[in-house]
Amino acid sequence: MVKQKGFTLIELLAVMAILVIILAIAVPGIGGIIRKAREAAFIDTAYGLMRASKYKRINDILIGDSPKGFQVIYPQDKDKLDAQGEMPDSGAIIVKETGEIALALWSDAVGKCAVKNFDEAEIRYDESIALKEDCASGVTSEVITEMWDGWITMTLYYPLNASDRQWRLGSPGEVRADGSFMWNDYTGPIVVPLSRVEDIWIKYKLDNKEVIIPPLGTVLVDIVPDSYGYKLVEKVKVKINYDEEATIKEYRVGDSDWMPYTEEFTVTENVMIEARAKKPDNVYDNNGNLVSKRTAVGRDYIYIGNIGVEESELPAPTIERIAPSTENEVARVKITYPEAANKKIYKENYGLEQAYTKEISIKRYGTHIIAYYYDASGKRSK
Contact 265, 279 (CB under 8 A): no
The answer to whether 262 and 275 have CB atoms below 8 angstroms apart is no
Query: Which domain range does residue 184 map to?
Result: 157-218
Report d(CA 265, CA 131) in Å as an integer.
40
The answer to whether 369 and 319 have CB atoms below 8 angstroms apart is: yes
pLDDT, mean of each 10-residue run, the chain (382 residues): 61 75 64 78 88 79 61 78 82 79 87 85 84 67 46 79 86 68 81 79 88 85 82 84 90 87 87 87 73 82 76 77 79 86 77 79 72 80 74
Pairwise CA distance, residues 280 & 101, whole Å: 52
Whether 367 maps to a domain, the answer reads yes
On the question of a cis peptide bond just before residue 215, with omega within 30 degrees of 0, the verdict is no
Give the strand order in the sheet containing 236-242: 221-225, 236-242, 265-267
In a domain, 27, yes or no: no
Domain match, 212 and 223 both = no
Phi-psi region of 93 (alpha: psi -120 to 50; beta: other; left: phi over 0): beta
Amino acid at 48: G
Looking at the fold, whether 127 and 163 belong to one and the same domain comes out as no
Helix (H, G, I), strand (E, B) or coil at 293: strand
- pLDDT score, position 140: 52
Please tell me the pTM assigned to this model.
0.48
Q: Residue 231, CB half-sphere, CA atoms under 13 Å: how many?
A: 6
Query: What is the enclosing helix (H) or strand (E) of 336?
Result: strand 331-336
Whether residue 86 is found in the same domain as residue 176: no
Asked whether residue 300 is assigned to any structural domain, the reply reads yes
Instruction: Tell me if 29 is assigned to some domain.
Output: no
Q: How many residues does the structure list for the chain? A: 382
Residues in CB range of 291: below 8 A, 6 or more apart: 283, 284, 285
Q: Is residue 65 located within the same domain as residue 96?
A: yes
**Quick check: helix, strand or coil at residue 180?**
helix
Provide the CB-side half-sphere exposure for 336 (13 A, CA).
4
- pLDDT the model gives residue 261: 92
Residue 65 shares a structural domain with residue 118:
yes
In a domain, 195, yes or no: yes
Residue pair 91/84 in contact by the 8 Å Cβ criterion: no
Half-sphere CA count of 210, side-chain side, radius 13 A: 10
Domain boundary pick from 218, 237, 256? 218
Q: What pLDDT is attached to residue 145?
A: 41
Task: Mark whether 144 and 164 lie in a shared domain.
Answer: no
Q: Could you tell me if 199 and 236 lie in one domain?
A: no
**Contacts with 254 (C-beta within 8 Å, 6 or more apart), sequence order:** 271, 272
In total, how many domains does the chain have? 4
Backbone angles phi, psi at 57, to 5 degrees: -60, -45
End residue of a domain, out of 113, 133, 149? 149
The strand pairing partners of 295, in sequence order, are 280
* HSE-CB of 342 using CA atoms within 13 angstroms: 8
The pLDDT value given to residue 147:
41
Instruction: Tell me which of 218, 237, 255 is where a domain ends.
Output: 218
**What pLDDT, on the 0 to 100 scale, is given for residue 239?**
93
Residues 129 and 83 in one domain: yes
> How far is it, in rounded angstroms, from Cα 340 to Cα 244?
52
Same domain for 144 and 48? Answer: yes
Name the β-bridge partners of 304.
271
CA 33/CA 8 separation, integer angstroms: 37
Q: Which residues are CB-neighbours of 376 under 8 A, at least 6 positions away? A: 340, 342
Q: Please indicate, yes or no, if residue 380 is contained in any of the structural domains.
A: no
- Pick from 309, 299, 303, 376: nearest CA to 344: 376
Assigned domain for 12 exists: no
How far apart are the C-alpha atoms of 182 and 226, rounded to whole Å? 11
Whether residue 254 is found in the same domain as residue 175: no
Question: Do 165 and 243 reside in the same domain of the chain?
Answer: no
**Shared domain check, 89 and 106:** yes
Alpha-carbon gap, residue 200 to 198, rounded angstroms: 6
pLDDT, residue 148, reads 45
271: left (phi over 0), alpha (psi -120 to 50) or beta: beta
Q: Is residue 178 part of a domain?
A: yes
Q: Residues 369, 348: contact at Cβ < 8 Å?
A: yes
Q: What CATH number is associated with residue 242?
A: 2.60.40
Structure confidence at residue 24 (pLDDT): 67
